[in-house]
Structures are given as C-alpha cells and as structure tokens.
Amino acid sequence: MAKLKDKLSPEMVNKIAMMALLMIGSFVIILMQTSLGTALPALMTAFNVNAATVQWLTTIFLMVNGIMVPVSAYMTTRIPTKYLYLSALAVYIVGTLIAYTAPTSAFWLMLVARALQAMAAGIVMPLMQVVALTLFSENARGKAMGSIGLVIGMAPAIGPTLSGWILDGKHNFLGLTWGGDWRSIFGIVLPLAIIVFGLSIFFFKNVLETKKVALDIRSLIESTIGFGLLLFGFAMVSDHGWGSFSYVIAPIIVGAMVIAEFVRHQLHMEKPFLDVRVFMNKQFTITTTLVSLTFIAMLGVEMVLPTYMQTVRGLSALDSGLTLLPGALMMGLISPIAGSFYDKYGAKRLAIFGFAMVTMATLPYYFLTEDTPSLYITTLYMVRMAGVAFTMMPLTSSAMGVLTKEQNAQGTAVNNTARQIAASLGTAILASVMQSVANDNMPSASLKEADPLAYGSKAISATLDGFHTSFFVAAIFALAAFILAFFLHSGKVNPSNGKEK
C-alpha cells in the first residue's frame, strides 16, 4: 500500500489528470482534420456547391493548421500553459458551434468554422508534446510520448470511419436519437469539448516557463505567407495537377522563396520566432526527417486506400472506413508499448524494425485487384500501422531528447511544422501519381460507344494502374526511411552531445 501511495502522490495525480485532459481535448480537436472527408458529398448537396468548392473545407484546415504550428512556439513561450490550452479549446468550441448551426445558405460560415478548428489544432498538437516533455522525467518520456501517439496517429485514422458511421443512419444512445446528417459530425464532439474545457479550468496547471518575448511582426508575416502558400500549392495538386502554374507551381515557388527568407531572418535574430538552428543538430535533423517520412507513408496511404476501396471495390464510405479501423486500433495498442521500448532501448532498433514492417506491408498493395479480399487489405494495413506506431513517437522522443529543456518548445514547433508539410506533400504526390497514371492509361472515349463492356474493363485496369503506382511510391518512401534509420544513434541520446547514454 505504501508503494501504491507513492505512485499515486498528489503530484502524480495532477500529472495524470492534466495529460488525460490534454489528450482527450487534443483527440477531439485533431479528429476534425479528416472527419469531413466522408461527408463532402453530403455537404455539396446541403450547401449546393460543387466538388472544387467543398474541397476548401479540407484545404483551409490544412493551411491554417500549418500556419499556426510555427506560431505555437511563440505562444507557448509567451502565454501561460493553462490559458493557452483553454483558449485553444474555446476557439475550437466556437468553430464547432458555428459549423453545427451554419445555415445552408452560408457556406462561408463553414469555412470560418474550419479555420477556427484548425487554429485550435495548430496550437494543441505542439503544446501536448511540450507539456509531456515537461511533466515527465527523461526515463518516462517514451511512455508519455507513446500515449501521445494514440492521439496524433489514431484521431486522423478514426475520423473518416466515425463520420461514415454517423452519416450511415440514425443511432440511439441513452434514449437519444441522432446521426444520419452532416451536422451530427460536429454535434457529437461539441459536448465532449465543453466538458474538457470545464474540467481544465480546475485541473489544468501552468507547467511551462513563460517569458516576455516581443512578437516579431516580420517573422509572423513571412511565416504565414510562406507556409500558407506552400501548403496551398500542395493541397491544389489533387484538383489541378502539377502542371497548373496559377494554383500549384507559383504558390509553391513563392512560398519556398518566402520561407527561405524567413529562415535567413531567423538565423540573424538573437531570439528567433522559430529557432531553425535546431537543425544544426545532426540527430535532430535525421529523426525529424524520419518522422516526416513516417507521416508521408501513413497519411498518403490513408488517403489513397479508401479511394481504391470505393472506386474499384464499390464499398461504401462506412465500409471502407471499417476496413481500415483495425489498423487505427492496432496503432493505439502498439504506441504505448513502443514508448516503453524507447525508454529501454532508444529509437534506432525500433525505427529499423518499424520501417521494415511498413515497407513489407506496403509493397503487396502494388498487386491489389478488383477482387482482393477485404480481410487481406485490413491485415496488411494493421501491419503497416503497427510499423508506424513503432517509429512515430519514439522518433519524436529521440528528436526532442537531443535538445535542451529550453529548446523544447522551439524544437517541437519545428518538428511539427516539418511533419505538417510532409503530410501535405506526401498526400499531394500520391494523389497526383494515382490520377496521372490512371488518366494516361484510360481508354479512348470512342471505345465507350463502340464497346461499353470493353471500355469499363480497361477503365478499371487504368484506375488500378494508378493505385499500383501510388502504392509503389509509398513503398519507396518507407524504404528510404528504413535505410536512413541505420544512421541514428544506438540507445537513447542526451542534449549535451547527442551520444548514446
């Protein structure tokens, strides 16, 4: 009993309560990143907009989220932890309430709502990691970051399945009937966010040291324009292709130029807005690159695979989401275990093992047909997500492990920014490869009139060629990460010299 009392000391209880509230609130917020993907057709009908217009609900979320992540380093340093988290929750609640009540004659209100939700997500993702690094000792850091993996990995994966289930029909819960329409997607998370907000008022504490740092307006403008244009360009690839100068090439080039100037400016500042000097640490650079490759491998396939199951296999949005759900649950199961392994062995062996799993489970997707059993797809996806779980948070823990405590906020912001850009880039690459290969192999329109059956068969083959190439590219990313993982330090690293402990 004495040992149990020691473990459940008031300090530990406060830590657990804070992390629980932070993880639940973050899960609810990050869930919205992918939840609307399944609901876009329903929203097109409700708001009477076309596919290009409704896609902005996803695009604006990615853009605003990516813009906010670099700003989070300043906010974490300047604003007390409790008030920053409560502010993020409040912004999210307002955005979700606007979306839930938006009249179908005002699509612009939905865009405002999504922007507010994305602002909250851009704050809580880095904040969650910085708080975990602060609350727990270095020896328990892996377990804490593994728990965070439940949120960062599972929330985007579960989002499409949850929204598909909500849209599938009416559901009864505790005597209440709900679901069957797009508003319920927002309605189901709103009460939970309000409860977390109320509890956080009493249980959340200020755990991060704050400083009176002046906001560099030039850095803020350059960061907003640079990352905003870059993410906009990547987001437009799926609709306009890589050949579009106005929507893709120009925004990416101008965005990259502004970011280059932003980086140059940061290197000449005594107290940078976003400290890119952390990239001078070799191990931080390698681990951040590997985390980015993890997200490319994870989110890219998460986007392509449901499209294959719906367009080629003819599955509903709900059924395609349920096919991938076991993979999300597998990631939730493995993430805390991977965190414990990191505390004992470091990231190198976990990364090599994890990326080997991801590579071996992605290559078979190259051979998918229109008759491939769903169980086969689900099993491979479970192996992939287990591999992702063995890499993502251990690598993030390793990246933060080589930095000093004072660099945690900046390092987390840099790591998350790189991850956000990689996710957008990976999705753009896989989507564009899939579309371009399918278009190149599509039969001529004349065959459709002459022999509809032959046209249909060749059209399916062309579509499959696009998916096959996309999956092959994803496997190459995973293989590149597997090779790069061998350059990591063995064992755990420390801030002073990055050498194994």
Which 8-state DSSP code applies to residue 442?
P
Could you tell me the pLDDT band of residue 85, with boundaries at 50, 70 and 90?
very high
Could you tell me the pLDDT band of residue 4, with boundaries at 50, 70 and 90?
very low
Residue type, 44: M
Q: What is the mean pLDDT of residues 318-332?
A: 81
pLDDT of residue 498: 46
Could you tell me the pLDDT band of residue 173, with boundaries at 50, 70 and 90?
low
**Is CATH 1.20.1250.20 the classification given to domain 278-501?**
yes
Q: 278-501: same fold as 1-212?
A: yes
Question: Is residue 415 scored above 50 in pLDDT?
Answer: yes
Question: Is residue 439 scored above 70 in pLDDT?
Answer: yes
pLDDT of residue 113: 93
Going by C-alpha positions, the residue among 28, 17, 144 that lies closest to residue 82 is 17
Q: What is the mean pLDDT of residues 200-205?
A: 86
Instruction: Report how far apart, in Å, the C-alpha atoms of 203 and of each of 21, 26, 147, 392 are.
Output: 8, 16, 19, 29
pLDDT of residue 120: 92
Give tens-digit pLDDT for 350-380: 989 999 999 999 999 888 888 888 889 899 9
pLDDT of residue 2: 40
Residue 493's DSSP bridge partners are 500
pLDDT of residue 177: 59
Better-predicted residue by pLDDT, 501 or 86: 86
Average pLDDT, the chain: 80
Better-predicted residue by pLDDT, 92 or 458: 92
pLDDT of residue 116: 94
Better-predicted residue by pLDDT, 53 or 10: 53
pLDDT of residue 372: 85
pLDDT of residue 359: 92
pLDDT of residue 499: 43
Among 219-233, 331-345, 416-430, the range of highest mean pLDDT: 219-233
Cα–Cα dist 133/141, whole Å: 6
CA dihedral 178, 182, 185, 188 (to 10 degrees): -30
Cα–Cα dist 125/9, whole Å: 28
Question: Is residue 92 scored above 90 in pLDDT?
Answer: yes
Residue 346's DSSP bridge partners are 491
Give tens-digit pLDDT for 9-43: 445 557 778 888 888 888 888 888 777 777 777 78
Cα–Cα dist 38/161, whole Å: 8
Q: How far from each other are the two terminal CA atoms of the chain, in whole angstroms? A: 34
Residue whose entry in the numeric block shows the structure tokens 């009540």: 101
Provide the b/e sequence for 205-236 (b: ≥16 CB within 10 Å). Answer: eeebeeeeeeebeebbebbbbbbbbbbbbbbb
pLDDT of residue 175: 54
pLDDT of residue 44: 83
Give tens-digit pLDDT for 460-472: 888 888 888 888 8
pLDDT of residue 8: 42
Q: What is the mean pLDDT of residues 427-440?
A: 77
Question: Is residue 225 scored above 60 in pLDDT?
Answer: yes
pLDDT of residue 463: 81
pLDDT of residue 17: 81
Question: Is residue 181 scored above 90 in pLDDT?
Answer: no
Could you tell me the pLDDT band of residue 1, with boundaries at 50, 70 and 90?
very low
pLDDT of residue 287: 86
Q: What is the mean pLDDT of residues 298-303?
A: 71
Give tens-digit pLDDT for 272-300: 877 788 888 888 888 888 888 887 777 66
Among 14-28, 88-102, 291-305, 411-425, the range of highest mean pLDDT: 88-102
Q: What is the mean pLDDT of residues 113-127?
A: 89
Q: 15-29, 77-91, 184-198: lowest mean pLDDT where?
A: 15-29
pLDDT of residue 171: 58
Q: What is the mean pLDDT of residues 133-146?
A: 69
Q: Domain ranges in the chain?
A: 1-212, 214-270, 278-501
Among 48-52, 94-98, 338-342, 389-393, the range of highest mean pLDDT: 94-98
Question: Is residue 236 scored above 90 in pLDDT?
Answer: no
pLDDT of residue 7: 44
Provide the b/e sequence for 116-148 (b: ≥16 CB within 10 Å). Answer: bbbbbbbbbbbbbbbbbbbbbeeeebbbbbbbb
Better-predicted residue by pLDDT, 257 or 500: 257
Class of domain 1-212: mainly alpha
pLDDT of residue 491: 62
Question: Is residue 420 scored above 60 in pLDDT?
Answer: yes
